[in-house]
Copies of this chain bind each other. A is one copy, B any other.
Amino acid sequence: MNQGIKLELRAREELFINLEPLQRGGVVPAESRKVALSYIDGYSTCDYCLGTLHILKKPPICDFLTEVADFLGMDNAIITHGCREAKFAIMHAITKPGQAMVMDENRHYTSYVAAERAGLKTYEVPSTGYPEFKVNPEEYVSAIEKARKENGELPALVLLTHVDWTYGNLVDAERVGKICQEYGVPFLLNTAYSSGRMPINGKQLLADFITCSGHKSWAAGAGVVGILALRDEWKDKVFKPSQRYKVKPIEILGCSARGTSALVLMSSFPYVKERVKHWDEELEKARWFSGQMESLGDIRQLGDKPHNHDLIRFETPVFNRIAQKHKRRGYFLYEELLKRSIVGIKVGKTKSFDLSTYGLTREQLGYVIDSFRDVINKLS
Q: Which residues of A contact B (CB under 8 A)?
A: 1-13, 20, 22-23, 25-28, 33-44, 46-47, 58-60, 63-64, 67, 81, 84-85, 88, 92, 109-110, 112-114, 116-117, 214-216, 219-225, 242-245, 248, 250-251, 253-254, 256-264, 266-267, 269-271, 273-274, 343
Q: Please give the distance in Å from A58's CB to the nearest CB on chain B.
A: 8
**Which residue of the partner chain B has the closest CB to A214?**
B42
User: Do B36 and A116 touch (CB < 8 A)?
Assistant: no
Instruction: Tell me the bound Cα distance from A41 to B224 in angstroms.
Output: 10
Contacts A/B (CB < 8 Å), 9 sampled:
A9-B38, A12-B41, A23-B42, A25-B42, A26-B41, A40-B264, A215-B259, A224-B259, A261-B261
Interface contact B251-A7, CB-CB below 8 Å: no
Shortest beta-carbon distance, A198 to chain B, in Å? Answer: 17
Does A43 contact B22, Cβ atoms closer than 8 Å?
yes
Taking the closest CB of chain B, its distance from the CB of A17, in whole angstroms, is 14
Question: Does B3 contact A23, Cβ atoms closer than 8 Å?
Answer: no
Q: Which residue of B lies closest to A220 (CB)?
A: B42
Q: Which of A4, A222, A266 has the most CB of B within 10 A?
A: A222
Residues of B within 8 A of A220 (CB): 42
The complex places the Cα of A27 from the Cα of B215 at a distance, in Å, of 24
A43 and B67 form a contact (CB under 8 A): no
Q: How far is the CA of A44 from the CA of B261 in the complex (A)?
A: 14
**Which residues of B sit under 8 angstroms from A4, Cβ to Cβ?**
63
User: Which residues from chain B contact A248 at a C-beta distance below 8 Å?
Assistant: 109, 113
Q: In the assembled complex, which residues on chain B have CB atoms less than 8 Å from the CB atom of A263?
A: 7
Instruction: Determine how close the nearest CB of chain B comes to the CB of A32; give it in whole angstroms.
Output: 8
